[in-house]
Amino acid sequence: MKSTFYKYRYLLGVLLLIAALLNCFFRFWGDARPFFSALMLQLWFGQAVFAYLRGGWVSIGPGGLGKDANPVGRAALAFVCFVIYLLGFVLGFGKEV
């Protein structure tokens, strides 16, 4: 599993970044508060997913798991971060529908 993700880690990281930027531009263009709120949420949790994919320190906020930590714990943390990252595509961030 690691070899498949690790082989395409930079491509996946760029896709996470592009998806977050496109989401923010198309949904919140002209409204700065939800735009930057959604962008910060997706970049914050997207970097944790990318860190897991590249085998580095998976961090959210002041804590995290290093590359020598339990692999199941690292995978669980990355999964939770990925789910929160995906929620950034559907949450309203205070914008009325």
- Give the model's confidence band at 96: pLDDT under 50 very low, under 70 low, under 90 confident, else very high: low
Say which residue, 1 or 87, is predicted with more confidence: 87
Instruction: Count Cβ atoms below 10 Å from residue 77 Cβ, excluding itself.
Output: 22
What pLDDT does residue 3 have?
58
Asked whether the beta carbons of 8 and 54 are under 8 A apart, the reply is: no
How much of the chain, in percent, has pLDDT values that exceed 90? 43
Q: Where are the domains of the chain?
A: 2-87
Cα 79 → chain centroid: 10
Asked whether the beta carbons of 79 and 53 are under 8 A apart, the reply is: no
85: buried, middle or exposed (CB in 10 Å: 19+, 13-18, 0-12)? buried
- The whole-number average pLDDT for the span 68-89 is 92
Q: Is the pLDDT at 60 greater than 70, yes or no?
A: yes
Angle at which helix 32-54 crosses helix 71-87, to 10 degrees, equals 160
What pLDDT does residue 2 have?
59
Single pTM value for the model: 0.85
Q: Is the pLDDT at 21 greater than 80, yes or no?
A: yes
- Give the model's confidence band at 28: pLDDT under 50 very low, under 70 low, under 90 confident, else very high: confident
